Amino acid sequence: MSKDKVGYGKPPKATQFQKGRPKSHKNFKPLSRVLRDLALKEVQGQLDGKPSKLTCMEAIVAKQMSEAMRGSIPSAKFIMALIEKHVPMNLSIQELMEDKQVFGWTAEDDKLISKEKLLAGVTVNLKPEGEK
């Protein structure tokens, strides 16, 4: 038995000044990395009623936006704070959309909506009033 007492505040001399992290900390991740990894994790969700893959961050913002549009004051405050912090207000809508189409017209839309279909059943009277 050694002469030195071992106990609280008195570690064994052989292991007292070991270098490096203890083995129990080898899988340690900082909170910032854990939050980033979870925020960027992909999940199945619905966007505009269609199933799609979203990151957790996108899903949270979409849900808060939806709640804000339904009248939730806390959600509206949250979304407005995000917009004020992250969306530059000195840009036009076109610049914010980064040249993405705001409205896309497809061939299916052409089939559904045509000039003939829109004007079907509409009569145009080109005669001035009072003339028969």
- Domain assignment present for residue 73? The answer is yes
| pLDDT tens-place string over residues 29-43 | 889 999 999 999 999
User: Is residue 114 domain-resident?
Assistant: no
Total number of domains in the chain: 1
The answer to whether residue 17 sits within a structural domain is no
Q: Which domain holds residue 51?
A: 34-100
**Is residue 82 assigned to a domain?**
yes
CA–CA dist 13, 6 (Å, integer): 9
Residue range 40-82, pLDDT digits in tens:
999 998 877 889 999 999 999 999 999 999 999 999 999 999 9
Residue 128 lies in a domain: no
Would residue 63 be called left, alpha or beta, if left means φ above 0 and alpha means ψ between -120 and 50 degrees? alpha
CA distance 43 to 55: 6
- Paired strand residues for 55: 42
- Whether residue 6 lies inside any domain: the answer is no
More confident: 129 or 31: 31
pTM score: 0.50
| 45 lies in some domain | yes
Residue 119 lies in a domain: no
